[in-house]
Amino acid sequence: MDIHNRNKLLLDLKTSLFLPPFNEELYSTCTTDHQKSIKEIQEIYKLRNDPELADKIKPIIQLKIKDVERTKRVQLAYLMHRINKIQSQYFVDSGQLSSDHIDQLSKNEKDYYKFFDQLVKKYENDIETKVSQNILPPSEVFIEVRVIKQIGNIITQDGDELDLEEGTQQLVKKSDVIKFLQEGSLVQI
C-alpha cells in the first residue's frame, strides 16, 4: 500500500483553513489499495498449510494486516476531521455555512450538513432556544432592560419575584431574563 497516498490525504487537511475539496481520487485509491491488500492476505493465508512456508508467511500476514489497519485509521481520521470541521464551522457561522464552504464539500458531506442543520433546528424548536448562534459569555452580570411587552411576575434563579410590567425599566440579572430578551419582550438599554 502506498504510504504517500495516506500521508497526502492527511496533509491536505492540515494545509487548509476550512477544508480542501474532498479528494475523491485519493480516497478511492486508498480504498482500492486497502481491498487489494485484503485479497493478498487471503491468498497468502491459503498457503498456511504448506510446512515450508508456514513460518515465513506469519510475519508477512501480520505486516499486511498492520498496513490495512493503518490505512483504515487514516481514512476514518480524514472523514472524522471533515465532519468535525463542518459541525464546528456551522456554529461559528451561526447556523449557515457560506457558499464557499459548501462548495468544498462532497455530495455525501452536503447531505450530512443538511441533516445536521435539520437536527439542530428541531432541537432548537424543542428547547425553544437558539443554539446555532455564536454565543459569547456575558460581559456583565446585571443589565438594564425596558419591558416592551407585558410579562408579569417571574421567579428568578435566586428564588426572588420580579415584576416585569410593560413600559418599566429595571436592573436585572441577565441570566434571569435572557429568554425574554431573545423573544423581544425586553430590550437591553
136 in a structural domain: no
Q: Which of 77, 104, 127 corresponds to the end of one domain?
A: 127
Last residue of a domain, one of 81, 101, 127: 127
Q: Do both 182 and 94 map to the same domain?
A: no
Domain that holds residue 90: 3-127
The set of residues, in sequence order, having a beta carbon less than 8 Å from that of 131 and lying 6+ positions away, is 120, 123, 124
Per-residue pLDDT of the chain (189 residues; tens, 9 = 90+): 578 888 888 888 888 878 888 989 999 999 998 899 999 999 988 888 888 887 888 888 899 999 999 999 999 999 999 999 999 888 888 788 888 888 889 999 999 999 999 999 999 888 887 777 656 665 678 899 999 989 888 988 888 888 999 999 999 988 888 888 888 889 888
Instruction: Indicate which CATH number applies to the domain containing 169.
Output: 3.40.5
Same structural domain for residues 74 and 12? yes
pTM summary value: 0.65
Provide CB contacts within 8 A for 8, sequence distance 6+. 26
End-to-end CA distance of the chain: 64
Is 152 found in the same domain as 109? no
Indicate the number of domains in the chain. Answer: 2
Same structural domain, 117 and 162: no
Cα angle value 74/104/69 (rounded, 5°)? 10
